Structure 1
């Protein structure tokens, strides 16, 4: 019998990409949910409001796997995961912020007791990026530092939610693991110029994503740097102004934040025609191999950010549906997925990770 997958938030751009990947790579049947009952897509649809916990619990019980893609995750709690644990249903999400990580990881022991596997922070960044970092760490005898750099063209082919997520990430300083201790850094600060595949040189800035915390928690490294930037570059300067010059009250006010998100999304859609919507990821791993200093560079380029995110999450869904991963508990993606399986699923999807040794 074919398995049934529920993609919560599946009417959004990234949710649709996840649903398509699961259908293309497995025999599962996919149903999507959303708040907008006017959905006219290619998948069976069920209306769902995440504020109605009883509805969530009743709905989830009919499925073999739930994929949670209804962001922004800054404002989400663990009710979907809790319902999955109660129903004995495996869980995947594309959460991208440490606040959500702290909301759901306390369910670890309950998930273990229920025998369900919950894998957090899948997608492209976090997600594929975390596993690129893991591949680098496992290629060395000892890893000391991780540097993750992301560059996205225009809107990334995603929807308004991604813009909301960006502005929510500018609201306050955050802790980063630097030189063996947690240090406060300002969002969208300390610009670096990095050479990316396909794009060439691009500017990136400190940005608080889930892997800023989880990679430092997973691996015995001394430093984890996560920086993000956009193409065209003038978006970076506008985002920097928003983070450092605009009144903080604007980012705290939901109305003004929504206005900024909608204006930015409209601008990005206009420039998508010439900037493209791709993503480039560079992961630099510094450490030791055979008693000598070794630097590794892992690079990825995909011409559509939302599709790459869908393939990242879809690959984890595939591994759970095929029972290639059965690890009860609540895990960050790099804690649950072996590199051999990561490489296999990326190859199936035509995604190439280039690894270079730099001595």
Structure 2
């Protein structure tokens, strides 16, 4: 029988690209969910093995029935539920908990630290149930985390990880990603600096970083992402820096202004977040035609190689951020379906995915990652 995949939130920008990736690279039966049948018409035709069902995640009984049916109908233990229904700041662990109870593997595109912490708390339960659950599998977090692992493995020891991201316009994503950006401005977050946790203000400390063409030198700012705590948990490094920026640069100034001048209570009000998100999405709809919707990632890891100081670099450029996210999540799901990836428990992607499998998956999807090693002393 065919393997089965259930994509929660599969009609969204990222979810639909995950579905497209799986339709292109697997023969799995794919079910996409949304809160209303009227949105099923918005889903591109991906073939007869892709269907739509209506499902609201607030309906716990139906959620359980759908996930249980995924397993019962096929009788295969390698089916997968993919959680793409963000923003994850507002989500609890009910989907993951249901997957554990029903013995179904789990993947998500979560991008908010609070959700990642909720998910990791289920690690022992997933391990006991024999369920492999991989969180943060999109582009950043996701592919970016695996690039860090790849770079760390080029060195004998690693001390500092510097992760920088830049997205052009909307990145091809929907308003949910805009919400995530503004939710990340709500309060200072903890960063791992010089071997201790220190409070950092979001969208502070602008730094100019050299990205590959066509981006070049661009400003990036501190940003609260799951990598800020999952990377120091996975690897014995002393410092992890996570910075983010956008193109055109005036979006950086607007976001910096909100983070610096708006009262924190405003940023913790859902109506304000919705207003900012929809205004930003409207603006990027206009500027996307000039800026594009691509993404660039730059990883710099400092440490030791053969007794000398060294730096390992990895860079990625993709013309469509949402497609890249689909490749990240789709490739992990493909590995779970095939049995190549089997690690019961709940894991951040950099903890679970070996570099050899990661590089093979990126090559199969024509996602080019450039690496270099520089001796600094």
Settle same-fold status: TM greater than 0.5: yes
Give 2:272's match in structure 1, choosing from 241, 244, 256: 256
For each residue in 1:228-265, what CA deviation from the matched residue of structure 2 results, as whole angstroms up to 9, or x when unmatched?
A: 00000000000000101112232121112111110000
Q: Which moves more between the two structures, 94-103 or 170-179?
A: 94-103
Instruction: Report the alpha carbon displacement of residue 29 of structure 1 after superposing the two structures with TM.
Output: 1.4
Q: Is contact 2:112–2:180 with CA below 8 Å preserved after alignment?
A: no
Q: Extract structure 1 runs of 4+ deviating beyond 4 A.
A: none
Instruction: Report the alpha carbon displacement of residue 47 of structure 1 after superposing the two structures with TM.
Output: 1.3
Q: 1-side partners of 2:15 and 2:323: how far apart?
A: 10
Cα RMSD between the aligned structures?
A: 0.8
TM superposition score normalised by structure 2? 0.94
Give 1:161's match in structure 2, choosing from 144, 163, 176: 176
Matched, 1:60 2:57: no
Unaligned runs of 5+ in 1: none
Give 2:125's match in structure 1, choosing from 106, 110, 113: 110
Q: 2-side partners of 1:52 and 1:212: how far apart?
A: 33
Q: 1-side partners of 2:296 and 2:197: how far apart?
A: 27
| Matched length | 359
Q: 2-side partners of 1:220 and 1:246: how far apart?
A: 37
Give 1:308's match in structure 2, choosing from 315, 320, 324: 324
Q: 1-side partners of 2:32 and 2:66: how far apart?
A: 12
Instruction: Report the alpha carbon displacement of residue 212 of structure 1 after superposing the two structures with TM.
Output: 0.7
Match of 1:13 in 2: 13
Give 1:79's match in structure 2, choosing from 82, 94, 108: 94
Instruction: Report the alpha carbon displacement of residue 2 of structure 1 after superposing the two structures with TM.
Output: 1.3
Q: Is contact 2:135–2:346 with CA below 8 Å preserved after alignment?
A: yes
Instruction: Report the alpha carbon displacement of residue 56 of structure 1 after superposing the two structures with TM.
Output: 1.0
Match of 2:206 in 1: 191
Matched, 1:36 2:2: no
Q: 1-side partners of 2:272 and 2:107: how far apart?
A: 32
Instruction: Report the alpha carbon displacement of residue 54 of structure 1 after superposing the two structures with TM.
Output: 1.5
Q: 1-side partners of 2:167 and 2:314: how far apart?
A: 17
Instruction: Report the alpha carbon displacement of residue 52 of structure 1 after superposing the two structures with TM.
Output: 1.7
SS at match of 1:44: strand
